[in-house]
Amino acid sequence: MKSNLHIVLLGLILSVSLVNADELEQNEFEEDLLDLYGDEVTISIATGTEQPISQAPAVASVITAREIAAMGAHDLDEVLETVPGLHVARSTLGYNPIYTFRGVYTATNPQVLMLVNGISINNLFVGDRSQVWGGFPVESISRIEVIRGPGSALYGADAFAGVINVVTKSAQEINGTEAGARIGSFNTQEAWFLHGSKFKGVDFAFMLEAKSSSGHREKIVSDVQTLSDQALSTSASLAPAATTNGRDNLDVRLDIEKQYWQFRAGLQRRRNAEIGFGVGSALDTHGEYESDRWNADLTYHNPEFATDWDMQAQLSFLNTSAEVGEDVFVLPPGAVFMDQVFPDGVIGNPEVWERHWRMSLTALYSGIDKHTVRIGGGYNHSEIYKVKESNNFSGQLVDISDTASVFLPEDERKNQFIFVQDIWKFARDWTLTAGIRYDDYNDFGDTWNPRAALVWSATHDTTIKFLYGQAFRAPSFAEFRNQNNPVALGNDELKPEQMQTFEMALDSRKFNDMRLGLNIFHYEWKNIIDFISDGSGSLQAHNQGKQTGYGAELELDWQLTNALVLHANYAFQDSEDQATGEDAGNAPHHQIHASIDWQLHPQWTLRPAVNFIIDRDRPPADNRDELDDYMLIDLTLASQSYSDQWELKLGVKNLFDVRAEEPTDASFNISNDLPLAGRYVFTEINFNSK
C-alpha cells in the first residue's frame, strides 16, 4: 500500500521584489527547461496537455484552447472572427451566425460545413447548423481548425466556402478537474465543470457548460412592420423597441476512450431562445425557440491496424430539433396580412426534428515508397422525421401538422460516398496531394469533387503551396421541398451549388521570431440557389446565380520581446455578382484583426485586441446607403496563481460601446440594419486541478 501526502509550502509569493541566489537559480532552471522544450506551447504538446494537430494541405488556421483562453473568448464565434478571411455576420433571426468566408454571404449560410470532432452538424432543413443556434461555449474545446476554401474532396457536401472543425477536449487533456464561473453584462451568468481521469485503463471525460443571459438589447427604429404601417396607415409596429436575445443554454459532453475505441456523446440544449430582430425583421418581443441537439459517435481508430495500415471506422448519430417555446409573431398585433387585420398578431410556429446516421471507413496506407494513400467510403442517412406547424393565418391559431397545408413534408436523404487521396513526395522538397470524392444522393444525383495541392519547401524557412479544389453544396430541404409558402417554394429539380477555387499560399519564417503568411485566392461559385419569381407571383428556388471573387490574406505572428507577442491579420476580398456585374455585397472588402499578448508579470497578462470591418457594399438591387465601417476594441486582463491552478479574468468587449451593425436582408428594404452588442463587461474565475 502506498500513501502519498503533499505538504505545500506556499512561501512568500507576495515578496516579488526579492531576488536572491536561489531565485536566480530557479529562473535558470526554468530557462533550462525552456531549452529542452523550446516554448510553453511545446511543453503542453510534449506533456500531452495539448494535442498535436493533424496535417491538412489547405489554407488552414488552428486555434488552440490556450489561445482561446488568452483571447478571453466565451463563444466559438468570437474565436472565428479572428480568423483572416472569415467574418461572422449575423442573421436577424436570433442573431444566428453567418460565417462569411471570402465574400460568400447568404442569409442562411449553408455554404459552410461545421464539424464537431470531424462529424458534420449541418442541418437538412436550411443547411445551417441550427435555426436555434444559441452559440457554442468554448470551455470544452481543445482546438478549432478552420479551412478556408473548398474541402468537398475529403468532407463531402457543404465543405464549400470553408470548413470549421471543433475538436473537444479529451480526458488526457483535462487530466483532473477544470471549473469556473463568469458573470457579465446583460445579466449573463455562466458556469462550467470538466473532469477527465483514467480508471482501469479507460479514459473518462465529462464536460458541462451552462449559461443564462438576458442578452443584449439594441434599439431598432424601423422594422418591416414600420414600412407596412406607412403604406397602410396602421400603427402596429413595435418599433422603436429593442431586439431580444436572451437564452438559457446547457452543453453536456461525455468522452470514453479505451485503446482503439472511443465513444462520445453530447447534448446541446437551448431554451427560452429569443428571436433577435424577429423572424422576418419585424420585432417580436414574445416569441421563443427551443432546441435539443443530441449527438453520439463510436469510433475505432488503430494507427497500426496492420503493417503500413492505419484504419478508422466510425458510426455517428445526430438528432436535432428547432422547436417553438412561445408563440412566434411573424407580424405584431394590429398588422395587416393577406388583406386581413390580425388584432392578435400573425403567429407562425414551424418546428422541425431531424436525425442523421452516418457510418464511414477510412484507411491510410503508407506501404508504397514516397506515397501515403487515404481511401475511404461511407453511408449517410438523414431525415426530417417530424414537422409541426401551427399558425393563425386563417384567423384562428390552428395546428396544421400532418396536413397538406404544412410548410414542409417529412422526408429523408441518403448519401453514399467513396474517396481516395494520395500524398506523393515526388521530389525532394515537393509534395503533391491529389484526391477525389464521389457522392451519390437519392434526391439530386451524384457529383465528383477533386482537389490538388502542390507544396514546395522552397527554403528552410519558406513554404509555398498551390491549391485547387472543387466543392458542392447540397440543396437544403427548405430549398428542395418547401411548400405552401408563396415567397419560398421548394424545387425538387435543383442541382447542387458548385465552387471552384485556386489558391496560392506562402508561409515564411525568414525573420527570427516572426511568422508571415500570405494567401491569394480566386473562386467561381455557380448554380447559386435563389428564390426567384416563377411568373405567378410566387418565389421558387432555382439554380440561378453566379459569383466570382478574388482576394488575399496576410497573417503575422511576431514575438516582439519575451513578454510581447503580436498577432495581426488583414484580409481583402472582391466578389462580383455575374448577372449584374455589381459587387456581391454584404461581406467586408477589408478586415483587420490585431491583438497583443502582453505578459506584464509572470502571473499577469493583458490582451488588447482590435477588429476592424471595412467597406461593405450593398448587394445588387439593394439601394440603401452603404453600411458604416466599424472598429471594436476588446481588453482582457488575466491573473494566474503561481501554479496556474487559479485564474481571475476581467474583460471588456466593445470597450468604447461602438454601434456596429450587420446587414439586414435586402428584400425587406428596411432602413435599420442589425446592431451588434454594445459594451460588455465580465469577470470570471477559473480553477484547474492540474
- Write out the binding residues for another protein, residues 390-429 only, by CB under 8 A: 425, 428-429
Q: Between 296 and 315, how does the x/- string for binding to another protein read (CB under 8 A)? A: -----------xx-------
To the nearest whole angstrom, how small is the minimum distance from the Cβ of residue 191 to another protein? Answer: 23
Nearest CB to another protein, comparing residues 145 and 662: 145
To the nearest whole angstrom, how small is the minimum distance from the Cβ of residue 491 to another protein? Answer: 41
Nearest CB to another protein, comparing residues 30 and 626: 30
Nearest CB to another protein, comparing residues 242 and 363: 363
Nearest CB to another protein, comparing residues 30 and 657: 30
Tell me which of 16, 39, 374, 682 binds another protein, using CB under 8 A.
39
Footprint of another protein on residues 40-69 (CB under 8 A)? 40, 42-47, 49, 52-53, 55-57, 60, 62
To the nearest whole angstrom, how small is the minimum distance from the Cβ of residue 1 to another protein? Answer: 7
The C-alpha atoms of residue 132 and residue 325 are separated, in whole angstroms, by 11
What one-letter code names the amino acid at 678?
G
Which whole-number Å values give the CA distances from 223 to 67, 489, 524, 664, 685, in the listed order? 39, 24, 34, 10, 40
Nearest CB to another protein, comparing residues 52 and 537: 52
Nearest CB to another protein, comparing residues 34 and 532: 34
The C-alpha atoms of residue 283 and residue 225 are separated, in whole angstroms, by 8
Footprint of another protein on residues 643-662 (CB under 8 A)? 643-644
Q: Between 320 and 359, how does the x/- string for binding to another protein read (CB under 8 A)? A: ----------------------------------------
Nearest CB to another protein, comparing residues 26 and 230: 26
- In the DSSP assignment, the letter for residue 67 is H
- Give the burial class of 540: count Cβ atoms within 10 A of its Cβ; 0-12 exposed, 13-18 middle, 19 or more buried: buried
The C-alpha atoms of residue 459 and residue 199 are separated, in whole angstroms, by 47
Q: Which of 675, 651, 635, 659 is nearest to 188 (CA)?
A: 651
Count of residues of this chain found to bind another protein when the rule CB under 8 A is applied: 71
Cell of 338: 393577406
Q: Between 464 and 503, how does the x/- string for binding to another protein read (CB under 8 A)? A: ----------------------------------------
Footprint of another protein on residues 497-556 (CB under 8 A)? 509, 512-513
To the nearest whole angstrom, how small is the minimum distance from the Cβ of residue 32 to another protein? Answer: 4
Q: Between 121 and 140, how does the x/- string for binding to another protein read (CB under 8 A)? A: --------------------
Buried b (16+ CB within 10 A) or exposed e, 298-335: bbebeeebeeeebbbbbebebbbbbbbbbbbbbbbebb
Query: Does 38 participate in binding another protein (rule CB under 8 A)?
Result: yes
- Look-up of cell digits 436525425: 355
Footprint of another protein on residues 580-609 (CB under 8 A)? 602-603
Nearest CB to another protein, comparing residues 172 and 222: 172
User: Are the CB atoms for 662 and 676 separated by under 8 Å?
Assistant: yes
Which whole-number Å values give the CA distances from 363 to 163, 304, 374, 375, in the listed order? 22, 11, 6, 5
Rg (C-alpha) for the chain, rounded Å, is: 26
To the nearest whole angstrom, how small is the minimum distance from the Cβ of residue 140 to another protein? Answer: 20
To the nearest whole angstrom, how small is the minimum distance from the Cβ of residue 429 to another protein? Answer: 5
To the nearest whole angstrom, how small is the minimum distance from the Cβ of residue 325 to another protein? Answer: 42
Nearest CB to another protein, comparing residues 139 and 323: 139
What one-letter code names the amino acid at 620?
P
Query: Does 619 participate in binding another protein (rule CB under 8 A)?
Result: no
Per DSSP, the residues of 615-659 read EEPPPTT--SPPBPPEEEEEEEEEEE-TTSSEEEEEEEESTT---
To the nearest whole angstrom, how small is the minimum distance from the Cβ of residue 681 to another protein? Answer: 27
What one-letter code names the amino acid at 377?
G
Q: Between 430 and 449, how does the x/- string for binding to another protein read (CB under 8 A)? A: -x------------------
To the nearest whole angstrom, how small is the minimum distance from the Cβ of residue 260 to another protein? Answer: 15
Nearest CB to another protein, comparing residues 5 and 404: 5
Which whole-number Å values give the CA distances from 328 to 237, 411, 418, 530, 668, in the listed order? 15, 25, 43, 25, 19
Cell of 560: 516582439
The C-alpha atoms of residue 190 and residue 211 are separated, in whole angstroms, by 4
Residues 6+ apart with CB under 8 A from 15: none
User: Are the CB atoms for 266 and 249 separated by under 8 Å?
Assistant: no
To the nearest whole angstrom, how small is the minimum distance from the Cβ of residue 153 to another protein? Answer: 17
Nearest CB to another protein, comparing residues 7 and 338: 7
Tell me which of 185, 416, 457, 491 binds another protein, using CB under 8 A.
457
Footprint of another protein on residues 8-37 (CB under 8 A)? 8-12, 14-15, 18, 20, 22-23, 25-26, 29-37
Tell me which long-range contacts 366-369 makes (C-beta under 8 A, separation of at least 24).
Answer: 366/308, 366/310, 367/307, 367/308, 367/309
Per DSSP, the residues of 668-686 read G--S--EEPP--EEEEEEE
Nearest CB to another protein, comparing residues 57 and 150: 57
Query: Does 259 participate in binding another protein (rule CB under 8 A)?
Result: no
- In the DSSP assignment, the letter for residue 66 is H
